A and B are shown apart, each in its own frame.
Chain A
Amino acid sequence: AQRVTQPEKLLSVFKGAPVELKCNYSYSGSPELFWYVQYSRQRLQLLLRHISRESIKGFTADLNKGETSFHLKKPFAQEEDSAMYYCALITGNQFYFGTGTSLTVIP
């Protein structure tokens, strides 16, 4: 069963506009959720994790257990935010990744 769902494969927004990348998960226990980002020709890297409740590069993500969601948000998109974003759920040592959302920020 698909543990992590990212419904949008492609997302385009204008520079300065708010952006939200959706992520829904399926897990009965206490989830540990991450957002990873892959910029063009670079390796996959951690963007943020829900337990630290931090904001990285202006991005935030709130875990909503009622809706089983972990959407990634940024109030004002920048061109350098264009990248591939993966939502991930970890259970034990196993990652479950979403299929990714390709974000394009239009100048």
Chain B
Amino acid sequence: GAVVSQHPSWVICKSGTSVKIECRSLDFQATTMFWYRQFPKQSLMLMATSNEGSKATYEQGVEKDKFLINHASLTLSTLTVTSAHPEDSSFYICSAILRTGRNGYTFGSGTRLTVV
């Protein structure tokens, strides 16, 4: 079945540095991908919608200059957390829409980011 590969699965970085998370659709083209964040004991929250070849659409309260999203190809979307701070420590997960099949959405395996 269609798979979304997310990398890395976990990362620890120093405060002030930037971290890039990749989300790849392995056997299908994903014109639209979504980025979610989950804080401990809270719901998955949509951060932004990533559209191939155009600017991402950010949800209210999400800083676009801090969370840079690039969707340069039909199989790759990246999320870069710039100048990371400890409060950015979270679980980030991407999702893509499938155009066919009963499962309209497929998820990456997530990235656990810890900023120290």
Q: Which residues of A contact B (CB under 8 A)?
A: 2, 4, 9, 36, 42-46, 49, 52, 86, 93-100
Contact = CB atoms under 8 A, between A and B. Distances in A.
Chain B, interface SS category: strand
B69 to A, nearest CB: 15
Contacts of A2: 43
B49 interface: yes
Interface residues of B, number: 20
A103 B42 CA distance: 16
Given A44-B93, A52-B102, A97 B43 contact: yes
B103 interface: yes
Given A42-B109, A43-B110, A95 B102 contact: no
A95 B43 CA distance: 10
Q: B41, B105, B110: which has the most chain A beta carbons within 10 Å?
A: B105
